[in-house]
Amino acid sequence: MRVLGPADLPAALEVLNADPVTNVFAEYRSRITQLDQRWLGGQMWGYVADGELVSLCHVGANLVPVQAGEDACAAFAERALRQRRLSSTIVGPHDAVARLWSALGPSWGPARDERWDQPHLAISSDPWIEADPGVRRTEAGEVDELYPACVAMYTEEVGVSPEADGGRNMYRARVSQLVNRGWSFSRIENGKVLFKAEIACASPLACQVQGVYVDPAHRGQGLGARGMASVVEFARREVAPTVALYVNAHNLPARAAYAKVGFTQTTTFSTLMF
């Protein structure tokens, strides 16, 4: 087990390429930071077996295991226990998260929220239903209208406001960053956001959608499914050929909407939040 740096990027990308859709977050972070700790805001750990890099672990605000089997998870957990917890979330494929938590839980726990069953979904084709023509890229001048919907979505999904503990400026900056990058999509009518979603990260082969939200007064009308069809069309045409996301298993309306669009389950994720 060792901390990776820029010289390790080619080998790390080989590991990530074993499952580029599932690993899109870690690949995105690897590419944009070149594994330089100054830009990672944390570290990328690597597990080496027989002289070959075989597993990774992104350690920052999110702790994310990559291609991590039993031995790699044991090594990552041992290293994590030697330092204070830096991450507010552990997220990734269910088996790896479970292995890490079995070792980390006694010291890091209890978690504020444990979400063990999160279907990871992907689509690599045109959407199966007609896209909503009212959904488009959010414009820079619409951040004021978009921001309250982002706060509402985050609070509903995570259970705490992103503005808690003085987080407003940082969260608004993140929202603006995604808008300016062209990764925010919304349907806004009379200053009100009816639907919105963002691309959180992307690689040459895949991108991951987050923050899917339908205004509560307009739910049950198909806006989520048609809106996601629009996002899939934009993303596959201009960002990456496969679009992925993960959803809580108990969120049946969202799962039904994604199924209508053409998303299918590829694996199961788990998320622990502190």
What global pTM score does this model have?
0.95
The CATH number linked to 42 is: 3.40.630
Nearest alpha-carbon partner for 78 in 49, 57, 51: 57
262 and 143 share one domain = yes
Q: Which pLDDT value is given to residue 86? A: 87
Domain annotation covers residue 116: no
Q: What is the pLDDT of residues 218-273, one digit of tens each?
A: 999 999 999 999 999 999 999 999 999 999 999 999 999 999 999 999 999 999 99
Q: What is the dihedral of CA 180, 182, 184, 187, to 10 degrees?
A: 110
Domain annotation covers residue 131: no
Domain that holds residue 239: 136-266
Q: What is the pLDDT of residues 102-111, one digit of tens each?
A: 999 999 989 9
The CATH number linked to 257 is: 3.40.630.30
- pLDDT more than 70, % of the chain: 100
Q: Distances in Å between the alpha carbon of 209 and those of 170, 194, 205, 231, 258?
A: 20, 17, 14, 9, 12
Average pLDDT, the chain: 97
**Interval 206-217 mean pLDDT:** 98
167 and 244 share one domain = yes
d(CA 246, CA 209) in angstroms, rounded, equals 8
Q: What is the pLDDT of residues 114-124, one digit of tens each?
A: 999 999 999 99
Answer whether 118's CB lies under 8 Å from 268's CB: yes
